[in-house]
Chains A and B, each alone.
Chain A
Amino acid sequence: MDERIPSGAAIVVGMPRVLLIEDDQAVRDGLSMALGGRGHAVDAVATGEEGLARLASRPPDIVVLDLMLPGLDGFEVCRRIRAAGDLPIIMLTARNEDIDVVAGLAAGADDYVVKPARAQVLEARIRAVLRRTGQPAPAVPAPVEIERHGDLGIDRAGLTVTKADKPLALAPTELRLLLELTQVPGRVLSRQYLLESVWEHGYFGDSRVVDACVQRLRAKIEDDSSAPVYVQTVRGFGYRFGPL
């Protein structure tokens, strides 16, 4: 298949690199064009296998992944990317079928966009996810201030989290969610609030995105994720950090 190299092949440093895995050529070309026009470097491939190969050779900043792929399907690709690291993933679902969305989030996607999606919506999601990785650490390091919450140590400036003094590898979305919750320890934040502040959803979103991310975060920070201490569920309201 003839790969369209996006115009401006000289990749500008700091330009977010997007790996687009989408089997339909027209959609692939359209999204490449649109995202390219909005200042992203887009790598577009047609299959999950190719995508995984490209991941190794040219690591992107974010993956946009169609769920309906021939051969290796989107869920499997998503699981493999998650197993390898904390690269942000946005799923493209051709159907707003609940089961697809739930399965995709369970496979580790950070967010999802339903096709047909306007490029500006997709782009806003990409920006929102990437913003969660925050600004790079300042050149002159400020005195490190580490918040202590039980076993957790949170460095808001350096965007690092430790548990029992060991660094935790958190995905950008998980990190943003944790920062949001720990800013107001003991206060309940509704799913809708979290959705708008962490995911920057521009529509009445979907609390399942929040729930899936909370599950993943718990798996990393809690001693026993079935009996959470740090991120507690308040039935019917939302989530609360602590009290410890």
Chain B
Amino acid sequence: MKLGGLRTRLLLAFSLLVVITAATVAGGGYVQSRTLILQQAQDATARVLVDKATALFPLGPLPPGDGTLSRISGELSDRQLSSLVLFEDRASGNQQMRSLISPELRERVRAGNVAWQRVDAGGTPMLVVGTRFTVLLPGGQQRDSGIEAYIARSMVPEATSIDELATRAWLIGGVALVFAIGLALLAARGVLRPVRELGDAARRLGEGDLRARVGVRGSDELAGVARTFNETAESLERHVGELERMEADARRFVADVSHELRTPLAAMTAVADVLEQEASSLPGDAGRAAKMSIEETHNLTRLVNDLIEVSRFDAGAAALAREEVDVAEVITASLRIRGWTGEVEGDLPSGIFAEWDPRRVDVIVANLVGNALRHGEKPVSLRLSEAGEQITVEVSDRGPGLAPEVLPHVFDRFYKADSARARSGGSGLGLAIAWENARLHGGMLSAANGTDGGAVFTLRLPRRGGTA
């Protein structure tokens, strides 16, 4: 659960509400009941004292003798009450009660009130009530007798009731809190589930699953958001689908055009051969024109072949025909067939075996070396090495290297490093095709500048095809 999350906030709000409510209701009730219980106990006890004191009236002569005092205390005490009667420095009754009578209680009693005080007698709550006795003088006058009577009773039953009250208040509060948390969770789920669903769907949409939708329940604000989300996703799916269709159409068009170009090119190529034999004997411009059309026919053929190759990569139709090959042998054959053996310094240790598609590796090598021979400067060197499951082929030249603005685009299709440069023999697709072939093997092709200035193209391929 996230701190500061929606669920936490809802829980806190609900709990706080319940705690305040419970505290107010249960706590208020408890305080009131407690006051009432104590009040009743005090009143009852005071009444008992007053009644018994009234029953003792008149007391007889003053000052009272010890007999009078003990009669009073005897009369005042019973099973529940203990009593103590004080007169000046004499006392009668339960002597232990002395410690329960506080000076301020005596103060109030001496002032002529019926007073009470709750005290703690060694852990037992006690109620002490005191009063002064008046005597009736002959002539109907009343006067203070100087006798103080105190009775004490245990408040344990009341304390028990009050404790029960408190327990009940806590219990009610607790139950209410649990109930509130449950409600809060429910409410949170009601809000959170749609929110989470929305979040999940948004994430799926972001990951490219354009069919992600959320369920719309009810007609509240969340349902409105869900509806909006679905509409957005739908229009996104429509647009992306349209774009994909357009792209697929464009790719298919390129592929179709390239294929269509093949047949007329096949005828032109065949005829160019016938022309080639005659061109040298044609006079002046006619000869030059013949040579040019032959040259351009061959360029066009190369371009169309490369275009078809690229469109097969784009269509995902390029397949690998892996076989176990000695890498050095593939590379040397590649150079030998093109007559480049003498132009390249090779560091090609044999005995490095890999499961590659030799024809595609040949295309990569031919493009890299051809590129180095065309644009770099000799000597062009080839280095083959292996490290664990990765095999590296490095093609470097001693030319001026690649300009920094060219580096990121060197594998782009039809990228011309120097637009002013005359068209070379390449189709402008060679390096792009080499790059695609490297990727098809699960490897990569990168370009950089060497320490001594020339361009360095590095091919890194895994020895075997992964499961990917």
Question: Which residues in A have some Cβ–Cβ distance to B below 8 Å?
Answer: 24, 26-27, 29-31, 33-34, 37, 94-96, 98, 114-120, 190, 192, 196, 201-208, 235-237
Contacts and interface: CB of A to CB of B under 8 A. Distances in A.
Contacts of B266: 24, 27, 30, 94, 115-117
30 contacts: A24-B266, A27-B266, A29-B267, A30-B266, A30-B267, A30-B268, A30-B271, A34-B271, A94-B262, A94-B266, A96-B305, A114-B305, A115-B263, A116-B269, A116-B304, A117-B266, A118-B272, A118-B273, A119-B269, A119-B274, A190-B326, A192-B333, A192-B358, A196-B333, A196-B337, A204-B333, A204-B334, A204-B358, A207-B323, A236-B353
B351 to A, nearest CB: 12
B274 A27 contact: no
Given A116-B304, A192-B330, A206 B270 contact: no
Contacts of B308: 95-96
A115 B271 CA distance: 13
A33 B259 contact: no
Contacts of A96: 305, 308
A201 B359 CA distance: 13
A237 B268 CA distance: 40
B359 A204 contact: yes
Contact of B337 (A98, A117, A203, A206): A203
A6 B103 CA distance: 148
B223 interface: no
Interface in B261-287: 262-274, 277
A195 to B, nearest CB: 9
B267 A24 contact: yes
Nearest to A234: B324
B366 A204 contact: yes
B172 interface: no
Question: For chain B, which range describes its interface: under 10, 10 to 19, 20 to 34, or 35 or more residues?
Answer: 35 or more
B318 to A, nearest CB: 9
B321 interface: yes
Contacts of B337: 196, 201-204
A203 B334 CA distance: 8
Contact of A26 (B267, B301, B304): B267
Contacts of A33: 270-271, 274
A233 to B, nearest CB: 11
Main secondary structure of the interface of B (DSSP, over half): helix
Contacts of B268: 30, 116
B237 interface: no
Given A96-B308, A192-B330, A204-B362, A27 B267 contact: yes
B259 A95 contact: yes
Contacts of A24: 263, 266-267
A109 to B, nearest CB: 18
B319 interface: yes
B59 to A, nearest CB: 131
Nearest to B300: A116
A118 B263 contact: no
B234 interface: no
Nearest to A92: B266
Contacts of B326: 190, 237
B298 interface: yes
Interface string B296-319: 001001001100100000000001
Nearest to B309: A96
A37 B277 CA distance: 9
A26 B264 contact: yes
A208 B264 CA distance: 28
B324 A235 contact: yes
Given A30-B268, A190-B329, A204-B334, A37 B274 contact: yes
B48 interface: no
A114 B305 CA distance: 10
B306 to A, nearest CB: 12
A167 B326 CA distance: 38
B41 interface: no
Contact of B321 (A98, A119, A192, A203): A98
A203 B323 CA distance: 18
B301 A116 contact: yes
A95 B271 CA distance: 20
A206 B359 CA distance: 7
Contacts of B267: 24, 26-27, 29-30
A34 B304 CA distance: 22
A116 B262 contact: yes
B254 interface: no
A27 B325 contact: no
A236 B298 CA distance: 36
A27 B270 contact: yes
Contacts of B325: 236
A24 B271 CA distance: 14
Given A30-B267, A204-B366, A119 B323 contact: no
Nearest to A211: B323
B333 A116 contact: no
Contacts of A116: 262, 265-266, 268-270, 301, 304
Contacts of B333: 192, 196, 204
